[in-house]
Amino acid sequence: MSVYRCYESVERRDVESQASSKTNFCTRHGLWWTFGSRLSTPAGRVEDDNSLVTLLSPNLNFLVHDIVFPLFTPSHPNLSSTVLALIGLFELGVIPNHKAGFYCNDPALNFPFNGDTVTTEILMSTLLAGPLVFFAITEYIFVYVDYSESRIRRTCKNTFYLYRTYIYGLIMNLSIVEVMKGIVGSPRPTFFDLCEPDAGKTCNGTEYVKDFKCTSTKYASWYQMDSYRSFPSGHTSLSVYCGLFLAWYLQRRAFNWSHRSIFMVPMLQLLCISYAAVCSLTRITDHRHHWWDVLVGSIIGLATVLYAVIISSNFSYDHSKIGDLKSQESRQTVRTLLYDERRPATVS
């Protein structure tokens, strides 16, 4: 008969009376095997009915599943459209950005603008195209195939689910950054060069200037507006989100101590983390952000990764169908010891 597990579904014909004790078992062990909540199920993934949220309390489970998550899940495209529209309004200046002001002759704002090592075009192309190719190749290699579906069809389904979750987290990340930029209005290290504030030409000493207008003729109006949108770093938050999302996905989906990928996966994970580090640190070396902008951007990236992991139920697939059979059988043997302790002794 089919017996429920907190972490996977497995057939156990020789075990009886387990169904009645599944709640107690999962309550004891679910926190160790589960991180995330059941929201939707892609092809080849097993639903997790005993998630971390469920284990906390029935009231919290109702609040999160029935009220909060329906507003913030990829199954609601209207919210995504609203968020994208909000981002566009901030970027185009339709929604006025706050100006935090500056101190006259502040050396921290007097660096020359020399461009970006990682341009916005390079960042967005890698953020959008890179993970899609990454998911497709990984899923094609590790996807479980049965007689009901072809490998390509199953790969496309899983890739679509992963990419949808990834993009949704990316949009949430960008929306948080845009709103914070518009509210804080912190000047960049290249503020004087990009903006050339009118009040900065007449003020003396270390006087604080709150009201000003940009008068630069060297740069377009978008660069002038962007000169006081330093906090937090968008490049950092987006690159950290992308790098950590892919690294954790590889850990959950492809890493196996008994598999040939034991060396390849850490190398790819290092590449993902290096990508995030390069995009972040060059914002400081290019004098495009202050160090605290990059720090807060990293925190936002990490927070949205955790949010996306919860949405994807920690990339929970049916691990009994993934990887080589020998390693999976050995791993299942260890886990079934938890059941064997509860089995009554049988008389032959």
Bridge-partner residues for 4, per DSSP? 9
- In 71-131, DSSP assigns E strands to 102-103
Contact by Cβ (8 Å): 20, 342: no
Q: How many residues are listed for the chain in this entry?
A: 348
How far, in Å, CA of 173 to CA of 115, rounded?
24
Cα 233 versus chain centre, distance: 16
The residues assigned a catalytic role are: 235, 289
Question: What totals of helices (H) and strands (E) does the chain contain, helices first?
Answer: 13, 4
Q: Rg for the chain (alpha carbons), in Å?
A: 25
Q: Among residues 162, 172, 164, 166, which one has the least CA distance to residue 84?
A: 172
How far, in Å, CA of 5 to CA of 29, rounded?
10
The DSSP secondary structure of 259-298, one letter per residue, reads SGGGTHHHHHHHHHHHHHHHHHHHHHHTTSS-HHHHHHHH
H or E element, residue 208: strand 208-209
Q: Any idea which residue has 């955790």 for tokens?
A: 306
* Identity of the amino acid at 253: R
Joined tokens for residue 193 = 């060069």
